[in-house]
Amino acid sequence: MDKKNALRAGALAAGTTLMMLLMSSPALALTRDDGDDPGTGLSVIETLGWFVIAPIVIFAVIAGLVMVLDKSHKQRDTTTSNITTKADAKA
């Protein structure tokens, strides 16, 4: 039964890979489309800035705002973890 599942998974992976290769062929096109007017390319620094640094900065800003504006730490904990008991057993 284990070989059957492995064969099925392999066939699925091969089929998925083949479909992805067939569908990505327009990405390798060498002819320009009508109305295509690409601008100048990005430099390495610009590419890293837009696709690496900018998302990290946006994530950090959002995470910082969530932590600063979080009001749950100001609420009083009313569960049993907040209750202290003192046993004054005097004989």
Place of tokens 């969530």: 66
pLDDT above 90 covers what percent of the chain?
46
Question: Does residue 40 sit in helix, strand or coil?
Answer: coil
State how far the alpha carbon of 39 is from the alpha carbons of 36, 45, 52, in Å: 10, 17, 21
Residue 53 pLDDT > 90:
yes
Task: Take residue 26 and report the two structure tokens written for it.
Answer: 């327009």
DSSP label of 43: P
Rounded Cα distance, 25 and 14, in Å = 17
Tens of pLDDT, residues 54-87? 999 999 999 999 999 887 766 665 666 666 667 6
Task: Take residue 65 and report the two structure tokens written for it.
Answer: 């705002």
- Predicted confidence at residue 78, as pLDDT, reads 63
- Predicted confidence at residue 86, as pLDDT, reads 72
